[in-house]
Structure 1
Amino acid sequence: MAQPLLDDRAAPDGAAPPPPPGPLGRLAGWSFRHRGRTVLLWLVALAIAFGLSTAFGGKYSADYTAPGSDSKTAQELLARDFPTQSGDTITVVVHSEAGVMSPAVQTRLTALFAEMAKVPHVKAAEAPDPRRGQVSPGAGTTGIAKLRLDVANPTDMPKADTHKLLDLANGAGDGLTVSLGGQAVQMAEQGAIGSEGIGMAAAALILLLTFGSIVAAGLPLLTALAGLAVSSLLIPVLAAIMPVPDWSTSLAAMMGIGVGIDYVLLLVTRFREWRAEGLEPQAATVATLDTAGRSVVVAGITVIVSMLGLFAMGLSFMRGAAFAAITSVLIVLAAATTLFPALLGYLGRNVDRLRIPLPRRKAARAANVISPGWLRWSRLVERYRIVAALAGIVVLLALAAPFLDVRFGFPDQGNDPAGRSTRQAYDTVATNFGPGANGPLLLVAELPAAKDTAALDALVARLAGTPGVAAVTPVQYAGTSAVFTVIPTTGPQSTATEKLVRTLRDDVIPPTTATGTNVHVGGLTATAIDSSANIVKRLPLLVGGVVLVSMLLLLLAFRSVAVALKAAVMNLLSVAAAYGVVALVLRGGWAGKLIGIDNPTPLPAFVPVLTFAVLFGLSMDYEVFLVSRMREAWLRTRSNSESIVIGLAGTARVITAAAAIMVAVFAAFVPAPEVPIKVIGVGMASAILIDATLVRMLLVPAVMHLLGDRNWWLPAWLDRRVPQLHIEGPPPA
């Protein structure tokens, strides 16, 4: 027969009876007592998620165009009036010293294109046309051909079919060099590295070093794996409902593994402390969820609130990525509050069993003993609080400085590793046609009448004489629509190309619009420029909204104005420092080469937006873990200095261990072939490292020592209206 709920927190002999457990404590007690049923429910959830993924899983997709932009209008018109040009394309760059138009080379190219046209999803192969500027000037040693696909999105092109095209290109024969370009080829050449497995292995090693016990280290891993298994199966279902970018699976895996292990690490630590106090496993489990469990839930909510800020960007792919990350966090929260107590029902008495042979002092074996080393550090920060605060701020600002000259844009195939076919195609085109040939501007026109081409002819003449324009291709007509290409003199990532797009829209095209002919500038280069500008414009809205909501949440949790304001400022500083590290590696040079970036690379504008939402929430996690223990000591001692010293010394070990795990998980994604994932991994790993060491272990306690009792001040009128959450645990009986 199950024990009454009040018995779940039964105190050791002679102690005062504890208060009734809260909702999390009652949930933990139920899961502990019905552990078999709880584990079975999670297995059923996994089976349901697998069934939904198999039956309803959709394909990943993303629209990076800016809503309402000129390039978006051009894309829509192209799809409507020129459907043969609206699908995805693969560029075929051919080079022969004999000249690509020579009869012998033409014979070989005809046979090659015939073979390529047989590959699935290739609906047409267009040979290089000198009249359209697709053969290099002079000896004509280089030509640009096109393979038109029957898929609109490069993610829909099977990688196996793209590899067939690569094999045909590599087998072109002596004297003829063929390389392929395009996003479909780029994705096929990227491959995969199994970052999730690397992150889990690193986390397992850190947990073993932290706990010294295989059982204690295994609990966070088992819980995180269960949450990751369910969430990873649900994300394809999400992709069937809304646009979800393919890289969101990596983001969700980062969040699920890192957050799941971190949260359960805190719970295991508190469980061992309660056991050391003499509580039985069931009572210790309930007490753990009633104290540390509240911090975990608040920390998880802050992450979710931060991710919800991405909805303010008004971009469909941002919403899809946010939903994927939120799904992962919610499921690992559910696992931490239900599955973890159930596992303790089986392993609670043996949590310190299967110890590994590590040199450990006897005093450190007790889970609830504060480390003397961290206690000395805490006293040192108290003594030199002014120096510590100034030093921390100076270092953070120095780390953030490289972000001041960051260059926004989308990395292209010129940033790929030198050995790939896409990079070879890019370099060959840039050498023989000029850098602008890799970033053509596609102009789509709407004519007032089918034969009214006078205004468009005048526009073409003006374009040919516009500084920064290398060439203009002949116009193609389809009823009252027309399309032609403008080749810039500069590359797609150049600021000069961005200025050219603005010049065309603001100065060159408007006289044509006045005649009734509307012309829109589109293509991949213009789309990237419009998307970056749109995201950067909305970034302040995201930052303001996330900071404000997070401050309100912390105000409710800690009933302190100073804690909420300080946390917001500190988190902004740590995120800015992480941005600076990202900007530094994107410059190339020695820092970039450490992670596989060997030339200057622009920063995709959505990366700082995405990382801000994630990092601000994760930074709040450590703030909650640290300050909740400080507030617990403050309520007990009413001494600000002692509460800060005790809180820092008591949580430093678990925060640094949790941060080490998070850094390892994020750093495992740095070797990823995709530049956005690589950069997100760098930004998150560096941010967590900076936040958990420089900010939480130095700057936060130093500033709180300087503020004194003002740390815990709340106006009386607000104190009466703010509900008591008791994040540090229920008040003692």
Structure 2
Amino acid sequence: MAKILYRLGSWSARSGKRVIGGALCLLIILAIIAISLKPSFSDDMSIPGTPSEKAGQLLQDEFPSPVEPGGEVHLVFKAPENETLEMESVNQVIRNMLAEIKEDPLVASTASPLELGNLNEDKTIGYAVVTYQVPASEVTEDSKDNILDRIEITRNEGIQTELAGDVSFSELEIGGTSEAIGIIVAYMILALTFTSFLAAGMPILTAVIGLGIGIMLIMIGTNYLDIASFALSLASMLGLAVGIDYALFIMSRFRQQMAKGYSVQESAAIATGTAGNAVVFAGLTVVVALLGFSVARIPFLTMMGVSAAVCVFTAMILAVTVVPALLGMMGHKIGPARKNRFLQKLTRSGTRSEGSNGWGKFVTKRPLFVAVLGILLLGIICIPFFHMELGLPDNGTKSEETTERRAYDLLSEAYGAGYHANLVVAAKVHEPGADVANQLNEITAELSELPNVQFVSPAIPSPSGSVYMFTLTPTTGPNDSETKDLVNAIREKSETLENENRIEFMVTGTTAVNIDISQKLSGALPVFALLIVGFAFILLVLVFRSILVPLKAVLGFLLSLGATLGFVVFVIQDGYLKDLFGFPAEGPVLNFLPVITIGILFGLAMDYEVFLVSRMREEYTHTGNAEKAILAGVKESGGVVTAAGLIMIAVFAGFMLAPDPMIKSMGFALTFGVLFDAFVVRMAIVPAVMKLMGKSAWYLPKWLDKLLPNIDVEGESIMKANHHQKSRD
């Protein structure tokens, strides 16, 4: 692979304009196709085969709708102080506003709170319903703007008006503030790393082109695959971060070769064959981890992994093609003309002995202290992980600046928190008879006596008479543990009722779906983690030809993963420091966050491990001195790994500013995941533990050494061949 990449880098450096022009043309063509097809995201998070999905499908079959239901907007009103919504003056303003909304040709009907009879006890809060002729996903921006403009009529009259329903008014933004902030901070880090504004812009440029191609491919794919909108944000943050990092690794090696007297084109070719080889290895590792999401057999999670893998793969390809092309064209302007004081400070030596540096010597002189301190620190942060509760964020976890959150609070004030947690129960009658209705009345009365039940509606029979449907409103919200206990209690009671009355009860609704998704993910998590850890161990044994080094790397990954999830629970679920990080309210941990955190952090952790420890292995192979190998690895690769980690943190932290709670929580987890793994584990615990292990760290049984293939991740064969060529010359 190294020789192939060397030739590819050489060709790209010679054909810079064609390579860059081709990449831009591909981006433009894909953008035209994506715009013409129009993206069609699917936010269906159901899991086939779960109890809630079976209940939903049964109700859909037994209560068929002749046409696809139109999208609904609920306009939630709160009357001015000392007034009610029943007052004619207030009601007239609402009717006039709804009449103007109805002028939109897409609106099928409108109904005021008085017509629907949904006022709360003191008549101060109620909601109107605007029904569209098209599904919620097809409601146009013009129709949404019409709603936003018209509600100013009631607001100007002192009637608080907020929006709820299945039509979203807080759309997910790609290419907005989150990405911009991450790019700006990354540029500053690169400028310090390369001591050149021109050089700092090159990784940004290649990453943005790669990200653009990846996003266009995903948007085109939404027309053929069920891809959720939040999958695009995950793909975006990951594609941008690795795109910048991969270009950084190749450009750093390019500057090293230029400093040794190689030509621009030869330096670009060597950088692609060596650092580029490690980039391909690292990129494919991340791609494999992302595709590993499919192990959970959850459709929306699988598509998230595929989407992110597309962006990472695109970033990897552009790193080994467009980056050397840019270096071939402009490399003479970014050569090592100035000393890099930023990286020198990171790896500064207290002496002038070759191969030594300040941080490396500090760790190797106090390995036990550094190792124990690092492990103890991460171990303490892990503790909250053991009471983690999984769930799905709802409008109640959004910022109070959003109209959906304010509507959520108004509805909770009017009808109680359980309004948002309505459970839909399907009663499947196995032996229909004349007394079924009486039996159901008795059963619903019995269910109403369960703890935490606020209201049970009368059962409605399906046209076939074999299924009855009723709703059950709890007193607590959708993510409260009491509501989850109620769902489980109904399901447990169903077993008894089925045996006694031949009536099976099946529960669906937001909370039931949430429980089933969380249980499915919890069951898949150990299997996924085991596969990831096993894959990592085998991979690193092949790369480092050692038993203890891979074992140390895997245990370090598990430690950083536990600390990441522990800190997520501490802030997001328990609510500590939530204001500091901009979380509006505490809530459950996003149920698929542990899986994506494992997959992504695994890939990134292996990246840093390979770039750091492979240099140690190279030095140990040449000298046989374990301590000198650690110092060389920290000096030669530590600065680049530090810069790469800071860039990752900058990009991921930018997404913490997103208003959507899903995106915010993913950005938060990945930010601190990289912080813990890159800086505590890789830059502190790894060299400290390797110092304690000494030469035994590189032990590999001879019989195993003969069996294992030689994986030249650093492209050592390229350097040997190049050295022999220069010797002959």
| Same fold flag (TM > 0.5) | yes
Task: Tell me which residue corresponds to 1:58.
Answer: 39
Structure 1 residue 606, shift from structure 2 partner: 0.9
Structure 1 residue 327, shift from structure 2 partner: 0.8
Q: Which moved more, 1:557-566 or 1:174-183?
A: 174-183
Q: 2:445 aligns with which of 457, 461, 471?
A: 461
The question of 1:226 aligning with 2:193 is answered no
Task: Tell me which residue corresponds to 1:9.
Answer: none
Q: Are the equivalent residues in 1 in contact too, given 2:561–2:673 (CA < 8 A)?
A: yes
The question of 1:403 aligning with 2:385 is answered yes
Task: Tell me which residue corresponds to 2:650.
Answer: 664
Alignment of 1:293-312 (within 5 A): 293-312=276-295
RMSD over equivalenced CA pairs, Å: 3.1
Q: 1:476 aligns with which of 460, 473, 477?
A: 460
Task: Tell me which residue corresponds to 1:17.
Answer: none
Q: Are the equivalent residues in 2 in contact too, given 1:214–1:354 (CA < 8 A)?
A: no
Task: Tell me which residue corresponds to 2:666.
Answer: 680
Change (3 A) 1:566 1:23: same
Q: 2:243 aligns with which of 232, 256, 260?
A: 260
Aligned equivalents of 1:588 and 1:365: distance in 2? 38
Alignment of 1:82-161 (within 5 A): 82-83=64-65, 88-96=71-79, 98-101=83-86, 106-119=91-104, 121-128=106-113, 134-137=118-121, 139-150=122-133, 154-161=136-143
List per-residue Cα deviations over 1:73-118 (Å, max 9, x = no partner): 2322343415379665433333335544556555554444444444
Aligned equivalents of 1:370 and 1:37: distance in 2? 46
Structure 1 residue 642, shift from structure 2 partner: 1.0
Structure 1 residue 716, shift from structure 2 partner: 2.4
Task: Tell me which residue corresponds to 1:290.
Answer: 273
Change (3 A) 1:478 1:537: same
Structure 1 residue 617, shift from structure 2 partner: 0.6
Change (3 A) 1:699 1:517: same
Q: Percent identity?
A: 33
Task: Tell me which residue corresponds to 1:550.
Answer: 536
List per-residue Cα deviations over 1:575-619 (Å, max 9, x = no partner): 221222222221475611122213222211112211221111111
Aligned equivalents of 1:427 and 1:202: distance in 2? 36
Alignment of 1:71-470 (within 5 A): 71-80=52-61, 81-83=63-65, 88-96=71-79, 98-101=83-86, 106-119=91-104, 121-128=106-113, 134-137=118-121, 139-150=122-133, 154-172=136-154, 174=157, 176-185=159-168, 187-188=170-171, 193-352=176-335, 375-447=357-429, 452-470=436-454
Alignment of 1:684-695 (within 5 A): 684-695=670-681
Structure 1 residue 491, shift from structure 2 partner: 1.4
Q: 2:48 aligns with which of 62, 67, 88?
A: 67
Q: Which moved more, 1:305-314 or 1:25-34?
A: 25-34
Aligned length in residues: 708
Opposite residue 331 of structure 2, the aligned amino acid is G
List per-residue Cα deviations over 1:248-294 (Å, max 9, x = no partner): 22212211211111111111111111111121122222221222122
Opposite residue 586 of structure 2, the aligned amino acid is P
Aligned equivalents of 1:213 and 1:699: distance in 2? 32
Structure 1 residue 675, shift from structure 2 partner: 0.7
Aligned equivalents of 1:558 and 1:218: distance in 2? 33
Q: Are the equivalent residues in 1 in contact too, given 2:355–2:631 (CA < 8 A)?
A: no
List per-residue Cα deviations over 1:340-371 (Å, max 9, x = no partner): 1111211122223897x9978999999xx999
Alignment of 1:574-589 (within 5 A): 574-587=560-573
Change (3 A) 1:264 1:436: same
Aligned equivalents of 1:720 and 1:430: distance in 2? 68
Task: Tell me which residue corresponds to 2:709.
Answer: 723
Q: 1:617 aligns with which of 593, 598, 603?
A: 603
Change (3 A) 1:294 1:191: closer
Task: Tell me which residue corresponds to 1:493.
Answer: 479
Structure 1 residue 416, shift from structure 2 partner: 2.3
Change (3 A) 1:158 1:319: farther
Change (3 A) 1:517 1:309: same
Change (3 A) 1:396 1:150: farther
Opposite residue 402 of structure 1, the aligned amino acid is P
Structure 1 residue 450, shift from structure 2 partner: 9.6
Change (3 A) 1:450 1:429: farther
Q: Are the equivalent residues in 2 in contact too, given 1:65–1:528 (CA < 8 A)?
A: no
Task: Tell me which residue corresponds to 1:697.
Answer: 683
Opposite residue 373 of structure 2, the aligned amino acid is A
Change (3 A) 1:160 1:394: farther
Aligned equivalents of 1:22 and 1:60: distance in 2? 41
Aligned equivalents of 1:455 and 1:220: distance in 2? 69
TM-score by length of 1: 0.89
Q: Which moved more, 1:94-103 or 1:57-66?
A: 94-103
Change (3 A) 1:79 1:282: same
Q: Are the equivalent residues in 2 in contact too, given 1:463–1:508 (CA < 8 A)?
A: no
Q: Which moved more, 1:331-340 or 1:21-30?
A: 21-30
Q: Are the equivalent residues in 1 in contact too, given 2:399–2:659 (CA < 8 A)?
A: no
Opposite residue 499 of structure 1, the aligned amino acid is D
List per-residue Cα deviations over 1:613-654 (Å, max 9, x = no partner): 111111111001001111111111111111111111211111
Q: Are the equivalent residues in 2 in contact too, given 1:179–1:424 (CA < 8 A)?
A: yes
Aligned equivalents of 1:724 and 1:361: distance in 2? 32
Q: Are the equivalent residues in 2 in contact too, given 1:574–1:691 (CA < 8 A)?
A: yes
Change (3 A) 1:134 1:362: closer
Aligned equivalents of 2:108 and 2:669: distance in 1? 41
Structure 1 residue 300, shift from structure 2 partner: 0.9
Q: Which moved more, 1:529-538 or 1:664-673?
A: 529-538
Task: Tell me which residue corresponds to 2:492.
Answer: 506
SS of the residue corresponding to residue 240 of structure 1 reads coil
Q: Are the equivalent residues in 2 in contact too, given 1:440–1:488 (CA < 8 A)?
A: yes
Aligned equivalents of 1:44 and 1:395: distance in 2? 49
Q: Are the equivalent residues in 1 in contact too, given 2:144–2:169 (CA < 8 A)?
A: no
Task: Tell me which residue corresponds to 1:14.
Answer: none
Name structure 2 gaps, 5 residues minimum. Answer: 725-729
SS of the residue corresponding to residue 445 of structure 1 reads strand
Change (3 A) 1:535 1:330: same
Opposite residue 554 of structure 1, the aligned amino acid is L
Q: Are the equivalent residues in 1 in contact too, given 2:37–2:223 (CA < 8 A)?
A: yes
Structure 1 residue 425, shift from structure 2 partner: 2.2
Structure 1 residue 406, shift from structure 2 partner: 2.7
Aligned equivalents of 1:678 and 1:726: distance in 2? 39
List per-residue Cα deviations over 1:40-71 (Å, max 9, x = no partner): 33233223322432344531113212321222
Change (3 A) 1:497 1:625: same
TM-score by length of 2: 0.90
Q: Are the equivalent residues in 1 in contact too, given 2:347–2:357 (CA < 8 A)?
A: no
Structure 1 residue 239, shift from structure 2 partner: 1.1
Structure 1 residue 129, shift from structure 2 partner: 7.4
SS of the residue corresponding to residue 431 of structure 1 reads helix
Q: Are the equivalent residues in 1 in contact too, given 2:497–2:504 (CA < 8 A)?
A: no
List per-residue Cα deviations over 1:161-208 (Å, max 9, x = no partner): 234324433422636433222353453598984322221111111111
Q: Are the equivalent residues in 2 in contact too, given 1:190–1:673 (CA < 8 A)?
A: no
Q: Are the equivalent residues in 2 in contact too, given 1:619–1:691 (CA < 8 A)?
A: yes
Task: Tell me which residue corresponds to 1:46.
Answer: 27
Q: Which moved more, 1:40-49 or 1:704-713?
A: 40-49
Aligned equivalents of 2:578 and 2:357: distance in 1? 38
Structure 1 residue 683, shift from structure 2 partner: 1.1
SS of the residue corresponding to residue 241 of structure 1 reads coil
List per-residue Cα deviations over 1:97-143 (Å, max 9, x = no partner): 5544556555554444444444465434444479x983323x33333
